[in-house]
């Protein structure tokens, strides 16, 4: 079972999600809105994302793609 990365920044996560098919829709301050089909997600563009924040983002993506969080971790990282 893969672990969540502990030192990933918001900018790094955005790049990885763009490679997975998400596109940047807009940015307000330090938060970037990404979209894939009809699913939208907001990523904070902070230096290091907190584990709970990263977990919530990955769980939201996983539920939208009908996969597990660990499948998403393997896909993105």
Give me the CATH number covering residue 42. Answer: 3.30.920.30
Which residues 6+ apart lie within 8 Å of 71 measured at CB?
A: 62
Q: Would you state the structure tokens that stand for residue 23, as one six-digit string?
A: 């596109």
Domain count, the chain: 1
SS3 category, 20:
coil
Supply the pLDDT for residue 32: 97
Q: Would you state the structure tokens that stand for residue 41, as one six-digit string?
A: 């997600």
Q: What letter would DSSP give residue 4?
A: P
In a domain, 3, yes or no: no
The mean per-residue pLDDT over the stretch 45-71 comes to 94
In a domain, 24, yes or no: yes
Structural domain that includes position 66: 10-76
In a domain, 57, yes or no: yes
In a domain, 36, yes or no: yes
> Is the CB of residue 30 less than 8 Å from the CB of residue 46?
yes
In a domain, 1, yes or no: no
Supply the pLDDT for residue 67: 95
Model pTM greater than 0.95?
no
In a domain, 33, yes or no: yes
């Amino acid at each position: 079972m893969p672990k969540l990365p502990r030192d990933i920044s918001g900018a790094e996560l955005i790049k990885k999600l763009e490679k997975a098919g998400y596109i940047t829709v807009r940015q307000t301050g330090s938060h970037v809105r990404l979209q894939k089909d009809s699913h939208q997600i907001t990523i904070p563009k902070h230096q290091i994302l907190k584990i709970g924040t990263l977990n919530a983002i990955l769980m939201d993506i996983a539920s939208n793609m009908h996969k597990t969080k660990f499948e998403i971790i393997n896909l993105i990282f």
